[in-house]
Amino acid sequence: MAQQPDILSIEKNQQGFIFTMIEVNGEKVKAMIDFGDPHVLMVSTREAKRQNITLEDTGDKMQHINGQPMTLYSGIANSLKVSSRRLEKVEFFSAANEIEGVSEQVGTPFDAVLGWGFFSQSNFSMDYQSLTIEFLEEENRAELGKPIQYEKSSNYIVLPLYIAGKEANVILDTGSGISLVDQDWAKPFKKTRSPQGFPMITEKIRKGSLTLEQNFELMDLSMLSTLNAIGILGSDFINRFKLTFIPDENLIYLKG
């Protein structure tokens, strides 16, 4: 008998962020799917309080995209269920009111984040058009599209590519609704304005056999310097393709 496909339904808000329903300790919780977060799971302080989960100071800091440091706390979820996948005794992290603040900013209430630390454990395909993520037991690679390699140097999806002929590293990030590039790196390029009035550049990007034009809004992304990266490919890029991830081989296939 053929195995039933393991499909996770997702929703996408107007700003391009994606969400799904998960279960933490048997309680249904809405989670943002954020490949720019290296952890398996983040939980809001309000959800941890609601479930009466003890949080402990890790002694570490995490950096908000605006550069502000935040104290990082940790806790244990007895169970985490995502589609048909169930994990036991999952360490999660939390920063005081961070998820709550992002929730307000993006206009969608949510109380958890499923990060790349979770998704990097499985082969899966992701399609913003059908609003699905499918966990794969096997795949026909001839049908998956163009393969591109990413780096394994960190728990982020770091893509070395060319922007307007210049070598650069960028992060593939579902947790960003738009693509961004560091404002200092982009100084030599011609600037225009996004529909929202923000400065941007439009340049060709090239990665292997993939070549296309991409808009990048400008921002101070100096916090990415530890990853030797200067930009982010966000949901406006991801939306163009069906992507299949083979994490053990650092491969992404793009079809579209």
Q: What's this model's pTM, rounded to 2 decimal places? A: 0.93
* CA distances in angstroms from 168 to 125, 162, 221, 242, listed in the order given: 26, 6, 13, 23
Q: Which letter, b or e, does each residue of 8-32 get, where b requires 16 or more Cβ atoms within 10 Å of its Cβ?
A: bebebeeebbbbbbbebeeeebbbb
Residue 139 CB-density burial (10 A; 0-12 exposed, 13-18 middle, 19+ buried): middle
156-195: per-residue pLDDT in tens? 999 999 999 999 999 999 999 999 999 999 999 999 999 8
pLDDT over threshold 90, residue 200: yes
Domains of the chain are 6-135 (2.40.70.10), 141-255 (2.40.70.10)
- Residue 1: pLDDT band with limits 50, 70, 90: very low
In the chain, what percentage of residues exceed pLDDT 90? Answer: 84
Beta bridge partner(s), residue 192: 200
